Chain A
Amino acid sequence: MKLKEIIEKLQLKVLMDQDKLDMEVTGGYTSDMLSDAIANSKEGNLWITLQTHQNIIAVAKLKDLSGIIIVNNREPDEDTLQKAKEENVPLLGSEETAYEVSGKLYELISS
């Protein structure tokens, strides 16, 4: 499923717009530990996290993730937005919890 369809269906906010919204999402990975996310996420995954600092962008970039969803309506730091723009990593936001976003994404992708 394409990232833009997921954005629409999960009613995600696009925090940093990118030209990669046509990208195919392969699944998701939910974690707030960076080492866990870099070790266990897969290419094309959407990373669901509550972390908002700039170091999340490098993880997404290194693992070729399709984007990051920041949950619980948390605001990313200004330098996180800047890095997302520089590295062309789609940064999305949700008002829902990691549990809800993960469950909905799982349903969408496995259906």
Chain B
Amino acid sequence: MMSDENGLSHRFEINGHDFSNAGRISTNIKAILQEIGIHSSIVVRTAIASYEAEMNVVMYAHRAVLTLNITPEKLHLKLEDEGPGIENIDLAMKEGFSTATDEMREMGFGAGMGLPNIKKNADKFEISSIPGKGTSIDITICLDKTEKK
């Protein structure tokens, strides 16, 4: 799939509350993956996970840095945001739970599916948060089928 063994790395900045650019980074990531010939099922999973990660920043955080790393074995997305953080991660991971405002819900956000969608599409998912400081998310998707869960 990839001839380069050193892997590929991209860094993106996401601004909180910037609904007009929301989705741009995940669309960008999708294009990168398609260009290097990543299998379409992996592209779809990554697109969903990165979209939800991006929207969480747009809706709740001040800003974030998203790093994409691709090696022949795996694809890794790391998101670190500055924002209010998450008080109760177990609750935030529960499908249907959301702290979205009424305005966001009217726009069709706040289904309480964001973090669960990320987890579902990842082979490995880690989240940590410091309330008042920010949230960090690690998403790994295996490219080598034998490593797939």
Contact = CB atoms under 8 A, between A and B. Distances in A.
B48 A62 contact: yes
Interface string B5-45: 00000000000000110111011001000000000000010
B125 interface: no
A59 interface: yes
A63 B117 CA distance: 14
Contact of B111 (A34, A51, A59): A34
Given A38-B51, A62-B48, A54 B108 contact: no
B23 A58 contact: yes
Contact of A62 (B47, B107, B113): B47
A108 interface: no
A32, A38, A63, A87 — most chain B CB neighbours (10 Å): A38
Interface residues of B, number: 22
B114 interface: yes
Given A62-B48, A62-B51, A35 B24 contact: no
Nearest to A79: B20
B113 A35 contact: yes
B113 A33 contact: yes
Contacts of A39: 48, 113, 117, 120
A39 B121 CA distance: 9
The SS class assigned to the A binding surface is helix
B114 A35 contact: yes
26 contacts: A33-B108, A33-B113, A34-B55, A35-B117, A36-B111, A36-B113, A38-B48, A38-B51, A38-B117, A39-B48, A39-B113, A39-B117, A39-B120, A43-B44, A51-B108, A53-B107, A55-B23, A55-B108, A56-B108, A57-B23, A58-B22, A58-B26, A62-B23, A62-B47, A62-B48, A63-B47
Given A35-B52, A39-B120, A55-B23, 16 more contacts: A31-B108, A32-B108, A33-B111, A34-B55, A35-B55, A36-B113, A38-B52, A38-B117, A43-B44, A53-B107, A55-B107, A55-B108, A57-B23, A58-B26, A58-B51, A87-B27
Interface of B: 19-20, 22-24, 26-27, 30, 44, 47-48, 51-52, 55, 107-109, 111, 113-114, 117, 120
Interface of A: 31-39, 43, 49, 51, 53-59, 61-63, 79, 87
